[in-house]
A and B are shown apart, each in its own frame.
Chain A
């Protein structure tokens, strides 16, 4: 899922500027799970905005704000509530915000910072394990991604800062290559540690990404 967190309220207010009438949009998927843009957060935001002297014309939690057609359809269904607003405050990831801005002439304000594609460790605890790099190396690295888990994204083993299996950047974290080493040791394999991986091919990940499925 896409992990996001709310921007500080003062920043949201600054982005709204002189706008007085606001329509709120959340997302029923990722932003709901990480409690940044679900039903509950929209209520809280409505309360905070009202206290700050804004009028909230209505709100809507879209089922997948990244789905562009659905966003347009759901917003149309809200009719006057949306039309009477000067700005749309979106509590969804950057993709969701842009689904909204692509289909509306209203000022669209992003209320969240989008952080990473995350795994859910347990309720309320998220971890990045995949960087969407475009060329999966997990088959070469015992199923643990050094592109993501190593802060330097090193493909050929630990850097000189690794000691006792700890990472130089965060002493509380285990070095990605130490994790790979342990996994291989448990399996009685060593060969992948000895294989030199070539530089990554960044041409496989040129932005903006797009994919069109064949019929």
Chain B
């Protein structure tokens, strides 16, 4: 068995050698049965380069993403472990990261996390001991063989760290300095919030290029006009353009229309990014269709 510090991220190798990559989000179960999660993830082998495992997303309790991420590793699927600052203080974050390294997880997406008030435990204490920038600094410290108070570690991690970005959020010149901090703190890739306006992605990529960070553009599968409206109303920072809502409304088969929109957006985004990140919202079986022909490997 290889030791954790010799494991390396294939995602990193691909992005650093300028391969166009595809990642996809698969939500871990609310419960301890990972059967469906694994089935969905396995069905994506060949279509995606890595699977993002979300962390109590929307502040709703689910299994810790570490367990399903480790199951993916065991199955030969590369996970991107999402880690939020909402539920863990700096001790818990570091020990979780060390556990992830021991289990062969190599990619971490550092996130602040949705606020507790959105979820199913609204009366819980929001932690936010660190923020996403400080979590990236923490990952860099562990990668250098030390914890964040400077104590040496037995075994060094070699995480490939990424962060989130919201290319369409305004004002852009407020979000940009934080992206620069994330890059300076060790983020090597950005996985973006769902994009709907490729011209804003172009602006974003141009602005972050000098930071030396790879851009993986978020593409969401809109399953219906109702879902599109729900997202616009309830998901902070996401606004589905009215013409897309109309497209979903004026059809007998909204899911097919949604897949077509996602495919179109992914193709439009391709010139402005290093990969796409598909959020299929439970309909992961459509991912191969959305990303067909996009990856370097497909050419």
Residues of A within 8 A of B (CB): 151-165, 168-169, 177-178, 181, 190, 193-194, 196, 198-200, 202
Contacts and interface: CB of A to CB of B under 8 A. Distances in A.
Contacts of B165: 160
B15 interface: no
B37 interface: no
A160 B193 contact: yes
Q: Which residue of A161, A169, A181 has the most chain B CB atoms within 10 A of its CB atom?
A: A161
Contacts of B173: 181
Contacts of B8: none
Given A177-B174, A193-B174, A194-B181, A155 B131 contact: yes
Interface in B43-90: 86, 90
A160 B164 contact: yes
Interface residues of B, number: 37
A203 to B, nearest CB: 12
B128 A152 contact: yes
B131 A194 contact: no
Interface string B104-135: 00000001111101000000001011111110
7 contacts: A152-B115, A157-B174, A158-B174, A162-B236, A165-B171, A168-B237, A194-B180
Interface in B143-164: 148, 164
A181 B181 CA distance: 16
A192 B218 CA distance: 30
Contacts of B178: 156-158, 193
A151 B185 CA distance: 23
Nearest to B115: A169
Interface in B172-218: 173-175, 177-178, 180-181, 184-185, 193
Contacts of B237: 160-163, 168
Contacts of A154: 112, 128, 131
B147 to A, nearest CB: 13
A159 B181 CA distance: 13
Interface of B: 86, 90, 111-115, 117, 126, 128-134, 137, 148, 164-166, 169-171, 173-175, 177-178, 180-181, 184-185, 193, 236-237, 239
Contact of A163 (B117, B129, B236): B236
A133 to B, nearest CB: 13
A178 B128 contact: no
A160 B134 contact: no
Given A160-B169, A161-B237, A196-B184, A169 B117 contact: yes
Contacts of A168: 114-115, 236-237
Contacts of A157: 133, 174-175, 177-178, 181
Given A156-B131, A196-B184, A161 B174 contact: no
A160 B236 contact: yes
Contacts of B114: 161, 168
Contacts of B111: 160
Please name the 9 residue pairs, one residue from A and one from B, whose CB atoms are nearest each other, closest first: A157-B178, A161-B236, A168-B236, A193-B177, A156-B133, A163-B237, A181-B174, A152-B128, A159-B112
Contacts of B164: 160
Nearest to A155: B131
A159 B236 CA distance: 10
A183 to B, nearest CB: 12
Nearest to B168: A163
Nearest to B90: A199
Contacts of A202: 129
B185 A196 contact: yes
Q: Which residue of B90, B128, B185 has the most chain A CB atoms within 10 A of its CB atom?
A: B128
A23 B126 CA distance: 39
Given A156-B178, A177-B174, A194-B177, A161 B131 contact: no
